[in-house]
Amino acid sequence: MKIGIPREIKPNEYRVGLTPSSAREYVLHGHSVLVEAGAAQASAPASRLRASRGVDHFVGEEVFALADMIVKVKERSRSNGDG
């Protein structure tokens, strides 16, 4: 399976949807991890993710076109009455 990690487009969002250790586990189990160029550039975990062996890097919409599954960051919803 090809797992895509796009860059986040929300202002001041520096997280990515997958940790470096999770990416490594996916690769060790035969999956591909595709990271969009510029994904969380200011984040230390993201720089480790980009440097991980077996992680491929793409630009723009390539991640969405090539990936079987996309992993993104989504802020917590406050519409369910919990906050």
What pLDDT is attached to residue 70?
A: 93
User: Would you say 6 and 67 are in contact if contact means Cβ atoms under 8 Å apart?
Assistant: no
CATH ID of 2-70, from 2.60.120.200, 2.30.30.60, 3.30.365.10, 3.40.50.720: 3.40.50.720
What pLDDT is attached to residue 66?
A: 92
User: Would you say 60 and 34 are in contact if contact means Cβ atoms under 8 Å apart?
Assistant: no
Residue among 31, 37, 27 nearest 6 (CA): 37
- Phi then psi for residue 78, to 5 deg, are -100, 5
- The answer, yes or no, to whether residue 82 has pLDDT greater than 60, is no
- The answer, yes or no, to whether residue 83 has pLDDT greater than 60, is no
- The answer, yes or no, to whether residue 68 has pLDDT greater than 90, is yes
Q: Tens digit of pLDDT for each residue in 8-61?
A: 888 877 778 888 888 889 989 999 988 887 776 656 555 666 666 667 777 778
User: CA-based angle 19:21:25, to the nearest 5?
Assistant: 115
Burial of 62 (0-12, 13-18, 19+ CB in 10 A): middle
